Amino acid sequence: MADTYDSLNALKYLNAVVNETIRLYQGSKMERIPSVDYVLKGTGITIKKGHVVQIPTFAMHRDPANFADPDTFRPERFLPENIAHNPYTYLPFGVGPRNCIGMYMVKWMVKLALVSLVQRYVFYPTEKPVEFYVVNGGLMPKSVFLKIGKRVWVQHLLWDGLDHCLCRTFRHKPI
């Protein structure tokens, strides 16, 4: 299991894809209920005890001031060499001591599922756009249409003397 965990964490682009997907299509809302009255510093605004405070993460994640070209799926923005956003503008799991306790497990499970699917199948987009509805402040897809083909692995191994090989992969057409 440790090898699988380390291998998945080494896939930087996969991590970027997961983060970008979560940025665009967050599945939950973030809210807090203060246990005491709280005055926001420098504003004079008081948040009353027991009132629900929702953080507009959907708006934050789609704000051009926080992410250039915010409605475009661009995983490269989350690669280690490109991360330049303010850490408090990307909050899919919250922040600080009260952030989501299952964040790492969820991300790991999503990466594991994606790798398992991509190893077995080839996915092609269709012309039908994805439609969403709002659930608890998050977006859920009504339906997703993809063409799927079974991946067939036929590899030609070319050794270069350094224990590396070049693998060519041939795939089926979509089903």
pLDDT in tens, 57-73: 888 999 999 999 999 99
User: Rounded to whole angstroms, how far apart are CA atoms 85 and 63?
Assistant: 12
Predicted TM-score (pTM) of the model is 0.74
- The span from the CA of 16 to the CA of 175, in Å, is 29
Distance CA 75, CA 14 (A): 9
Tokens of 66: 């926080």
Q: What is the pLDDT confidence band of residue 168, given thresholds at 50, 70 and 90? A: very low
Residue 63 is predicted with a pLDDT of: 94
Q: Which residue has the tokens 């799927």?
A: 148
Question: Which pLDDT tens digit goes with each residue over 20-34?
Answer: 999 998 877 788 899
Q: What is the dihedral of CA 37, 39, 26, 92, to 10 degrees?
A: -100
Of residues 135 and 94, the one with the higher pLDDT is: 94
Whole-angstrom Cα distance, residue 23 to residue 137?
14
> Would you place residue 143 in the very low, low, confident or very high pLDDT band (cuts 50, 70, 90)?
confident
Report pLDDT for 165.
Answer: 46
Task: Report pLDDT for 166.
Answer: 47
Share of the chain above pLDDT 70, in %: 83
100 annotated among ligand-binding-site residues:
yes
| Coil, strand or helix at 17 | helix
| Res 164: pLDDT | 47
Averaged pLDDT of the chain: 82
